[in-house]
């Protein structure tokens, strides 16, 4: 039976956000060494959404993500060792070293394969949710996507189909305001994404994406409604990406985004806010645990072998 936890767990959310932050900061730190073999889309600053949302899900619930997916993967319980090995391009990675950062997957925890194609997971998630509905499953599907996904036709086709067929699915729109370097206001005419979604009859709400607790509350409520038979739902969460669209650098000095926006987001960073609600001993214990698990994952990746040439033709679909 897929059930979420009954109340917000500050320590669990802190542990997840710290793990995501530490993982991505380590990626940024070592990126210049070329040990990480794929492009990386970091979500530093956006951790509260994944942590808040995924702690409201049951193990059977299914998550679809995208190329900016480290946070969702970790928060859903994806294996950290095989993710790091995958980033290193090693055979002990979850896709044998052939997928990299943009194509994370861990089906053991119902984290579906991610893709680099904007909005592609939205149609896949709707199809998966329809299949679960037809099988009478208790599990529900959550699809994380950026606001840039709403620039794609397939996004609206998928919402239309989900609404038409009354498919139980939760779309979580992570609105960080930008698609690469283009502001939402410079790209999209008309009403907001939730308002446009609501024209299909989809109940769309908003939550504070800077607070895991707020996201947890909104997602718990949505999941309860989905389990009681509601059709598609959407929650738009506001957030801010601290680093560049792709790669480990800070793009603010380039002038695409104002430094003051970064500073405003950093001032409401959820990690210190969660720590302030905890005993210092718990904070220290969890920080040490995160450091140990990260060190073990890096060692796992270092110890792996690169795939041999025969791997090139394996797992191809013809
Ligand atoms: C179909 C498609 N069009 C364009 C791109 C190039 N592209 C990669 S990421 C991106 C921006 C997407 O922004 P958003 O959905 O808001 O997510 P974010 O990167 O902000 O997390 C674009 C346009 C792509 N990968 N796929």
**Is residue 312 predicted with pLDDT exceeding 90?**
no
pTM, entire model:
0.97
Model pLDDT, residue 318: 72
- Return the residue whose CA atom lies nearest to atom 4 of ligand 1: 118
Residues 6+ apart with CB under 8 A from 105: 94, 95, 99, 111, 112, 113, 114
The pLDDT value recorded for residue 302 is 98
The residues, any chain, with a CB within 8 Å of residue 111's CB and separated by 6 or more, are 62, 63, 65, 72, 73, 76, 77, 78, 104, 105
pLDDT score recorded for residue 317: 77
Lowest-pLDDT range of 188-192, 221-225, 313-317: 313-317
176 lines ligand 1 (CB under 6 A): yes
Residue 151 CA, closest ligand 1 atom number: 15
> pLDDT tens-digit profile of 29-41?
999 999 999 999 9
How many percent of the chain have pLDDT more than 90? 96
pLDDT for position 234: 98
Q: Is the CB of 146 under 6 A from ligand 1?
A: yes
pLDDT for 263: 98
Percent of the chain with pLDDT over 70: 98
The ligand 1 atom nearest the CA atom of 116: 25
pLDDT at 5: 45
DSSP string covering 35-85, please?
-S-S-----TT-HHHHHHHHTTS-TTSEEE--SS-HHHHHHTT--HHHHHH
Q: Is the CB of 246 under 6 A from ligand 1?
A: no
User: Has residue 2 got a pLDDT over 80?
Assistant: no
Q: Does the Cβ of 149 fall within 6 Å of ligand 1?
A: yes
Ligand 1 pocket, 175 CB below 6 A?
no
Whether residue 78 contacts residue 16, with contact meaning beta carbons closer than 8 Å, is answered with no
Confidence of residue 245 (pLDDT cuts 50, 70, 90): very high
From the alpha carbon of 147, which atom of ligand 1 is closest?
16
> Domain residues of the chain, as ranges?
10-260+280-304
Mean pLDDT across 99-122: 97
CATH number of the structural domain 10-260+280-304? 3.40.50.970
pLDDT at 137 over 80: yes
Ligand 1 pocket: which of 173, 180, 247 to mutate (most atoms <8 Å of CB)?
180
pLDDT of residue 315: 80
* pLDDT, tens digit (0-9, with 9 covering 90-100), for 248-303: 999 999 999 999 999 999 999 999 999 999 999 999 999 999 999 999 999 999 99
Q: Is the pLDDT of residue 113 over 70?
A: yes
What distance in angstroms lies between residue 175's CA and the mean position of ligand 1's atoms? 12
Ligand 1 center to 16 CA (angstroms): 25
Q: Is the CB of 118 within 6 Å of ligand 1?
A: yes
Predicted local distance difference test score (pLDDT) of residue 316: 80
pLDDT band at 4 (very low <50, low <70, confident <90, very high): very low
Ligand 1 atom nearest residue 150's Cα: 15
Residue nearest to atom 7 of ligand 1 (CA): 118
Minimum-distance ligand 1 atom for the alpha carbon of 245? 19
Q: What is the mean pLDDT of residues 78-85?
A: 98
Is pLDDT at 75 greater than 60 in this prediction? yes
The answer to whether 21 and 242 are in contact (CB under 8 A) is no
pLDDT recorded at residue 215: 98
pLDDT band with cut points at 50, 70 and 90 for residue 118: very high
């Amino acid at each position: 039976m897929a059930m979420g936890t009954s109340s917000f767990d500050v320590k669990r959310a802190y542990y997840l956000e710290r793990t995501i932050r530490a993982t991505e900061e380590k990626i940024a730190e070592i990126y210049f060494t070329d040990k990480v073999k794929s492009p990386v889309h970091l979500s530093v600053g956006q951790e509260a959404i994944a942590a808040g949302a995924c702690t409201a899900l049951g193990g059977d619930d299914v998550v679809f993500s995208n190329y900016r997916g480290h946070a969702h993967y970790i928060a859903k319980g994806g294996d950290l060792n095989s993710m790091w090995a995958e980033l290193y391009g090693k055979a002990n990675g979850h896709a044998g070293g052939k997928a990299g950062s943009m194509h994370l997957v861990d089906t053991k925890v119902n984290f579906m394969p991610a893709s680099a194609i904007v909005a592609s997971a939205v149609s896949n998630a709707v199809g998966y949710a329809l299949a679960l509905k037809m099988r009478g499953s208790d599990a529900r599907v959550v699809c994380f996507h950026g606001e840039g996904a709403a620039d794609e036709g397939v996004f609206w086709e998928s919402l239309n189909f989900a609404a038409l067929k009354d498919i139980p699915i939760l779309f979580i729109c992570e609105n960080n305001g930008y698609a690469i370097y283009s502001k939402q206001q410079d790209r999209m005419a008309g009403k907001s994404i939730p308002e446009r979604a609501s024209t299909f009859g989809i109940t769309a709400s908003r939550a504070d994406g800077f607070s895991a607790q707020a996201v947890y509350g909104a997602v718990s409520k949505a999941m309860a409604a989905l389990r009681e038979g509601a059709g598609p739902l959407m929650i738009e969460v506001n957030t801010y990406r601290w680093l560049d669209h792709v790669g480990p650098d800070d793009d603010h000095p380039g002038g695409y985004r104002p430094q003051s926006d970064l500073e405003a987001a950093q001032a409401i960073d959820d990690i210190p806010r969660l720590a302030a609600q905890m005993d210092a001993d718990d904070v220290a214990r969890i920080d040490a645990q995160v450091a140990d698990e990260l060190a073990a994952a890096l060692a796992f990746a270092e110890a792996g072998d690169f795939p041999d040439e025969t791997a090139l033709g394996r797992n191809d679909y013809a």
